[in-house]
Amino acid sequence: MQKQEKAMRKTAKNKIDNDVLKTLDLLEDLTQEKVRHGFYQRLNYQIEHLEEEQEIAKVSVFTRVIRLAATPALAAACIALGIFIGLGTADIKTDDYVDTLVKTYGIGLPETPQLFNTESQ
Amino acid sequence: MSFDEPKIIKQLQSGDKRAFRELVEATQDHVYNTCFSFVKNKEDAEDIAQQVFIEVLRNVHKFRGDAKLSTWMYRIAVNRSLNHLKSVKRHHKVQSLDEMVENKRMKDIPSTEDNLQDPEDEHTQRLEVLQKTIESLPENQKIAITLNNFENLSYQEVADVIGISLSAVTALINRAKVNLRKKIIEHYKKIEKDPQGF
């Protein structure tokens, strides 16, 4: 019985040694992997795609700069337009007010724009 | 990697597309093989290999020729592959350590019963054991042994890629081989003790 156990242990040890050796031997004989066919074409496609993306990125940066510069100018233009329209409306309102006074109270300015008679002097 | 380095560097720096194609065709298998030896996945290895070439194309104008172009390319390939592995590990961080150990037992390590069925299977499974054991080595040992054995780089070339001395590489590879042997013995002993557990 003991002999049998001893023999079994020896067999197991030999098997382990054999497995270890064979596994370590593979270290010297590792397979070289090769790329799939068409690697360059796929790479080239990716590079072109990246270049396109970079172009888009460049354009967007340019656009952003333009937008940034345009914003204060646009704001100033809006303010100016607002003032212009505002003043125009004020003029119209003043004219309306004068018309109302004339109609209601008969108050009016003389037809001639000359207020002082310079001839008699 | 065999090509006329100084000539191709000059051509690349002047934007010659044919030179780039020449470089890719001369080195694609080496770059891919290096990446594959780390990431162990064909698609990922190809993606990383492509990134390596894109990085070369983008930065070749900065290349001063202090090191060999091939050394530089191997360095990029190793760094990119290790970064990829780190990002993959981060994604799988949610998995508990116990689960990982259990999965490793269930999935990665082949059973001895199956091992002895077919010599081809036996070879594949031994290869798998070897690769898994290499993966478990400390990073520097893993890089050194991978470049030396998968890419057949000389110790000096490995030293150039990693950026350490020749004697340090020799010590690193020796340590790696001792560790590999220890781990593989442990692995087969475990299988022998508990064949059902694996």
Determine, for residues A32 and B28 on separate chains, whether the beta-carbon distance falls below 8 Å: no
Identity of residue A106: G
* Residue B101 banded pLDDT, cuts 50, 70, 90: very low
Top-confidence residue, B170 or A1: B170
Distance from C-alpha of B35 to C-alpha of B78, rounded to nearest angstrom: 7
Least confident range from A69-78, B14-23, B52-61, B96-105: namely B96-105
pLDDT tens digit sequence for A7-56: 888 888 888 888 899 999 888 877 778 889 999 999 999 888 888 887 77
Q: DSSP labels for B66-111?
A: SS-HHHHHHHHHHHHHHHHHHHHHHHTTTS-HHHHHHHIIIIISPP
- High-pLDDT (> 90) share of chain B, %: 61
How high is the pLDDT of residue A9? 84
The alpha helices in chain B, defined as continuous H runs, are 5-13, 17-39, 42-59, 69-91, 97-103, 112-115, 119-135, 139-149, 155-162, 166-193
Interface probe for B, chosen from A9, A21, A33 (most Cβ of B below 10 Å), is A33
Of B46, B130, B192, the CB nearest to A12: B192
Determine, for residues A35 and B192 on separate chains, whether the beta-carbon distance falls below 8 Å: no
How high is the pLDDT of residue A102? 73
Looking up tokens 């796929």, which residue turns up? A42
Highest mean pLDDT among A19-33, B84-98, B116-130: A19-33
Assess whether pLDDT exceeds 50 at residue B195: yes
Determine, for residues A35 and B29 on separate chains, whether the beta-carbon distance falls below 8 Å: yes
pLDDT tens digit sequence for A54-107: 777 776 666 777 777 777 888 888 888 888 787 766 666 666 777 777 777 776
User: Distance of alpha carbon B33 from its chain centroid, rounded?
Assistant: 8
CA distance A65 to chain B (A): 26
What are chain B's domains? 1-93 (1.10.1740.10), 96-198 (1.10.10.10)
Distance from C-alpha of B24 to C-alpha of B147, rounded to nearest angstrom: 19
Assess whether pLDDT exceeds 70 at residue B173: yes
User: Interface of chain A against chain B, CB under 8 Å?
Assistant: 12, 15-16, 19-20, 22-24, 26-28, 30-36, 39-40, 42-44, 46-47, 50
Top-confidence residue, B113 or A85: A85
Determine, for residues A35 and B21 on separate chains, whether the beta-carbon distance falls below 8 Å: no
Predicted ipTM?
A: 0.72
How high is the pLDDT of residue B65? 78
Of B36, B49, B188, the CB nearest to A16: B188
Residues of chain B in contact with residue A52, where contact means CB-CB under 8 angstroms, are: none
pTM beyond 0.80: the answer is: no
